[in-house]
Amino acid sequence: MEIKDRIINHATALFMRNGIKSVSMDDIAASMAMSKKTLYKWFENKDQIVLATMEQHLAKVQSECQGVVGQSANAVDEMVHITDWVEQQVIGVHPGIFFDLQKYYPAAWQLFATHKSTFILKQLTQNLQRGMAEGLYRPDLDVEVLARLHLAQIDLMFNPEVYPPGQFAPQRVSRVFDEHFLLGVATLKGHKLINKYRHVIEEE
């Protein structure tokens, strides 16, 4: 692995575990047993590292997400697998990471914001349209409103005023959001399929 990629991977792990603001260039160099001189040879400052980690992370996210979608049997199956995948993504993520990005690293934050408003919004829109076409989601859904509602829940999930991190684990909040959303858009046919995937038995 190239040195630059190693730096990005080490920095990503530190940021996810400790938050971004609290991690210094010294910390990154020390975690790699690397001199600061070598680190600065590849990145002029921490802002560049944060931006590079965000670019790499989003490329990985998009690739994995498209893989899940491509292997899904239907819209409900897709959302169930995406829910499981998202839970794995947020495990161990420092609760202040989004606050750090927004306040201190505008370039990386803008990259993430663009990712949400283009890629994620497109995936949500296509899932809703797919579910409607398959008869698993209600035919009268306002797709544009609902896709943006679900998108807004990403920020809400990490809002410490609404869900204090010491009380609410992100994966717990994510699962409740996704299940609530999915049950809200599903037809009876879709609801039965959701229960099948969740191994839930309900009386008619």
CB contact at 8 A, 78 and 68: yes
> Please, which pLDDT band fits residue 189 given cuts at 50, 70 and 90?
very high
| Domains delineated in the chain | 53-198 (1.10.357.10)
Report the pLDDT value the prediction gives residue 165, as an integer from 0 to 100.
85
Please write the tens of the pLDDT for every residue from 34-69: 999 999 999 999 999 999 999 999 999 999 999 999
What are the φ/ψ torsions at residue 137 (nearest 5 degrees)?
-115, 155
Count of beta carbons in the 10 Å neighbourhood of residue 100: 19
Contacts of 18 (CB under 8 A, 6+ apart): 94
Rounded distance between C-alpha atoms, residue 75 and residue 137, angstroms: 9
> Please, which pLDDT band fits residue 202 given cuts at 50, 70 and 90?
low
Report the pLDDT value the prediction gives residue 35, as an integer from 0 to 100.
93
Please write the tens of the pLDDT for every residue from 103-115: 999 999 999 999 9
**Least trusted range by pLDDT, from 50-59, 139-148, 168-177:** 168-177
Is the pLDDT at 204 greater than 70? The verdict is no
Report the pLDDT value the prediction gives residue 14, as an integer from 0 to 100.
94
Q: Model pTM?
A: 0.88
Report the pLDDT value the prediction gives residue 88, as an integer from 0 to 100.
87
Mean pLDDT of the chain: 92
Residue type, 185: V
Residue type, 54: M
Q: How far apart are the first and last CA of the chain?
A: 56
Count of beta carbons in the 10 Å neighbourhood of residue 17: 13
- Kindly state the percentage of the chain with pLDDT values over 90: 79
Residue type, 197: Y
Is the pLDDT at 87 greater than 90? The verdict is no
Rounded distance between C-alpha atoms, residue 85 and residue 65, angstroms: 8
Rounded distance between C-alpha atoms, residue 29 and residue 168, angstroms: 33
> Please, which pLDDT band fits residue 1 given cuts at 50, 70 and 90?
low
